[in-house]
Amino acid sequence: MHRGKAMTISFDGPRVLATLSAWRTTRSAASTWLLAATLLGASLPAWSVTCGVSATGVNFGSYDVFSNVNSDGAGSVSVSCDAAASYSIAISSGNGSYVSRWMASGAHQLAYNLYREASRSTIWGDGTGGSAVVSGSGTGATHTVYGRVPSRQNVYAGSYSDSIVVTVTY
């Protein structure tokens, strides 16, 4: 079963902010099945677990177009489940692709990417296009999102933004 939250990431000066809006899916026959399972002594299915997701923004600091140093930042995605469960966290490519994400300010673009580890070698995505998901188990954990804006981009001053969808599957 999938539970999803949309995470909007926007670049506004020195930091990237994350805002969440949620939706929930339900099973129409869930209560009937749970009653039957209880009467028959069956174990509850994995979809009886409820998980939630939240995020904190990735802060890149100030971007200097003349610097030879990448702008790195970190944020987090937290998963919390009401019972132990195995789960995976996928994030969308936003603008661009997993290999080349970008934030936009009107017609102008600023390249960046999101990674699973501090070395920034594995792109966090949905498992396609050279990306990988993040997996976890238990009642939840906080997973760090590592971001990088490559150095020496010739960009215009402005407010750059992108939208990323976070999907937790359990």
Structure confidence at residue 6 (pLDDT): 42
Q: pLDDT tens for residues 98-137?
A: 999 999 999 999 999 999 999 999 999 999 999 999 999 9
pLDDT at 37 over 50: no
Q: pLDDT tens for residues 51-70?
A: 999 998 787 777 899 999 99
Q: How far is CA 71 from the centre of its chain?
A: 19
pLDDT at 139 over 60: yes
CATH code reported for the domain at 2-169: 2.60.40.1090
**In whole angstroms, what is the distance from residue 96 CA to residue 93 CA?**
6
Determine the residue type at 18. Answer: A
pLDDT at 19 over 60: no
Average pLDDT over residues 43-48: 56
Structure confidence at residue 159 (pLDDT): 85
Structure confidence at residue 58 (pLDDT): 83
| Residues 6 or more apart in contact with residue 100 via CB below 8 angstroms | 111, 113
The more confident residue out of 133 and 158 is 133
Segment (H or E) for 38? helix 30-40
